[in-house]
Amino acid sequence: MTEPLKIALAGLGTVGTGVVRLIETNAALIARRARRPIQITAVSARDRSKDRGVDLSRYAWADDPAELAARDDVDVVVEMVGGSDGPALALARTAIAGGKSLVTANKAMIAHHGLELADAAEKTGVALKFEAAVAGGIPVINGMIDGAAANAIDRVYGILNGTCNYILSSMEDTGADFADVLAEAQRLGYAEADPTFDVEGIDAAHKLSILGAIAFGAKLDFAGVETVGISQVKAADIEQAHALGYVVRLLGMSELERDPAGDRLFQRVRPYLVPVDHPLANVDGPTNAVVAEGNFMGRLLFQGAGAGDGPTASAVVADIIDIARGEKGPAFSMPVAELQPFGKASSGHRVSRSYIRFIVPDRPGVLADITAAMRDAGVSIESVIQRGDPDQDGEVILAIVTHEGPEACVTEAMRILDGSDSLTAAPLVMQIIGE
């Protein structure tokens, strides 16, 4: 057996502790699979005295994570501090500059600084790996870099945020409204005290931008993701969707739009209507799933646990095993200099069927106003569902499904209706994905 691979862990929250547990529990198996033992030499966290349920006395302790990067007995630094900047980024930069490989689960840091870090890693000849940053325990980055490597990828999309999927599928099961289910999710630990990053789609956008860079060989462009969260989705929307044969899912969708004048990258996170017989419609609770479509492999689906200490630790240690095996390829599948700066594709010209939900006063003429706006904007209506009875505020839910058409027309119809007294709240638009 060759020399052990020596690693240092920065951050000992649930994921960091999970990594310690995994490496200890599966040590013998990992050594056989990695062809050398993996040995933790040093750890760092804020509070040394906290009981984490694992014995840390064998490992050197550093109060300052930056010390880990300076140690001679460390080959790989595992960053689990979190946050897109601050100490996590400082540690990542120092470790890579000092010739240590870096493994991280930090999607925010990679979405914002991944290209800089990958470039630095290429210069110092170390590995930068972040399997756990996208879809938790699902080895989807490995799947794209290795398994799907022979394909030009046309489209990659999926359920990238377990909190939102838990909330939407719970709303589906219980008929409860967003706020109630969110409160329950917070109580159960599926949602953070400040849920903004999750429910507004920012976390999914981080992951989508990373996935797109790898899938398309694109310069990572987090700012180019159009992002809408799920906080506007009502129980009534889920009910209408169900009646129409759909479920509501927050999807991240990334597609390379081919164009002789220059390919463009379309990236969007938002709630979609998904047909009940689509594989993503059956993904419930905090599960994640990613679909990749390639020009030879066809459609590939990866599904599994999107979060949690065990699954995330599984992905972190898979990266460490890769490094132990000497697999140090470029972080985004090709060198940063070869990643292409595709222009941003906007959604306007995209052809979709859309679901549009209005909340309207219960009086004559409302439907005429709305349908006139749709007509003037060139939106063709496929079906209309209006529930019979107004609620206690005298308001009625009106749902319209459009025929396929440019999304810009729907946007224009919404602009025409903006401020109209036929609407008592901002309408919600959700695109419908095909089979």
**Residues comprising the binding site for L-homoserine?**
192
Q: Which of 37, 201, 271, 308 binds its own copies (CB under 8 A)?
A: 308
Note whether 37 binds its own copies by CB under 8 A: no
For the bound state, the minimum distance from the C-beta of residue 194 to its own copies, rounded and expressed in Å, comes to 27
Span from 30-38, 72-80, 101-109, 188-196 in contact with its own copies (CB under 8 A): 30-38
Note whether 152 binds its own copies by CB under 8 A: yes
Note whether 426 binds its own copies by CB under 8 A: no
Note whether 311 binds its own copies by CB under 8 A: yes
- Which of 12, 40, 284, 27 minimizes the C-alpha distance to 164? 284
For the bound state, the minimum distance from the C-beta of residue 104 to its own copies, rounded and expressed in Å, comes to 16
Note whether 67 binds its own copies by CB under 8 A: no
- What does the per-residue mask of binding to its own copies show for 79-118, with x meaning CB under 8 A? ----------------------------------------
Q: Which of 4, 13, 14, 26 binds its own copies (CB under 8 A)?
A: 26
Q: 129 an active-site residue?
A: no
Give binding residues as ranges. Answer: 10-17, 107, 192
Span from 136-144, 233-241, 266-274, 367-375 in contact with its own copies (CB under 8 A): 136-144
Note whether 234 binds its own copies by CB under 8 A: no
Note whether 158 binds its own copies by CB under 8 A: no
Note whether 318 binds its own copies by CB under 8 A: yes
Residue 330 token pair: 């470029």
Q: Which is nearer to its own copies, 341 or 364 (CB)?
A: 341
CA 168 to each of CA 190, 259, 389, 431: distance values in angstroms, whole numbers, following the listed order: 12, 36, 25, 16
Note whether 305 binds its own copies by CB under 8 A: yes
For the bound state, the minimum distance from the C-beta of residue 412 to its own copies, rounded and expressed in Å, comes to 37
**What is the distance of C-alpha 307 from the center of its chain?**
11
Give binding residues for NADP(+) as ranges. Answer: 10-17
- Which of 117, 113, 105 minimizes the C-alpha distance to 141? 105
Note whether 14 binds its own copies by CB under 8 A: no
Q: Which of 209, 240, 254, 333 binds its own copies (CB under 8 A)?
A: 333
How far apart (Å, rounded) are the C-alpha atoms in residues 12 and 31? Answer: 23
Note whether 40 binds its own copies by CB under 8 A: no
Note whether 313 binds its own copies by CB under 8 A: yes
Note whether 18 binds its own copies by CB under 8 A: yes
Q: Which of 70, 188, 243, 301 binds its own copies (CB under 8 A)?
A: 301
Q: Which is nearer to its own copies, 334 or 416 (CB)?
A: 334
* Three-class DSSP labels, the chain: CCCCEEEEEECCCHHHHHHHHHHHHCHHHHHHHHCCCEEEEEEECCCCCCCCCCCCCCCEEECCCHHHHHCCCCCEEEECCCCCCHHHHHHHHHHHHCCCEEEECCHHHHHHHHHHHHHHHHHHCCCEECHHHCCCCCCHHHHHHHHCCCCCEEEEEEECCHHHHHHHHHHHHHCCCHHHHHHHHHHHCCCCCCCHHHHCCHHHHHHHHHHHHHHHCECCCHHHCEECCCCCCCHHHHHHHHHHCEEEEEEEEEEEECCCCCCEEEEEEEEEEEECCCHHHHCCCCEEEEEEEECCCEEEEEEEECCCHHHHHHHHHHHHHHHHCCCCCCCCCCCHHHCECCEECCCCCCEEEEEEEEEEECCCCHHHHHHHHHHHHCCCEEEEEECCCCCCCCEEEEEEEECCEEHHHHHHHHHHHCCCCCCCCCCEEEEECCC
For the bound state, the minimum distance from the C-beta of residue 349 to its own copies, rounded and expressed in Å, comes to 26
Q: Which of 72, 194, 277, 435 binds its own copies (CB under 8 A)?
A: 277
Q: Which of 137, 201, 252, 427 binds its own copies (CB under 8 A)?
A: 137
Q: Which is nearer to its own copies, 147 or 343 (CB)?
A: 147
Note whether 142 binds its own copies by CB under 8 A: yes
Note whether 143 binds its own copies by CB under 8 A: yes
Selecting among 6, 100, 129, 207, the annotated active-site residue is 207
* Three-class DSSP labels, 54-108: CCCCCCEEECCCHHHHHCCCCCEEEECCCCCCHHHHHHHHHHHHCCCEEEECCHH
Q: Which is nearer to its own copies, 5 or 138 (CB)?
A: 138
426: left (phi over 0), alpha (psi -120 to 50) or beta: beta
For the bound state, the minimum distance from the C-beta of residue 23 to its own copies, rounded and expressed in Å, comes to 8
> Which residues of the chain form contacts with its own copies (CB under 8 A)?
18, 22, 25-26, 29-30, 32-35, 131, 137-139, 142-143, 145-152, 217, 277, 279, 282, 289, 294-305, 308, 310-311, 313-315, 317-318, 320-322, 325, 327, 329, 333-334, 338
Catalytic site positions: 207
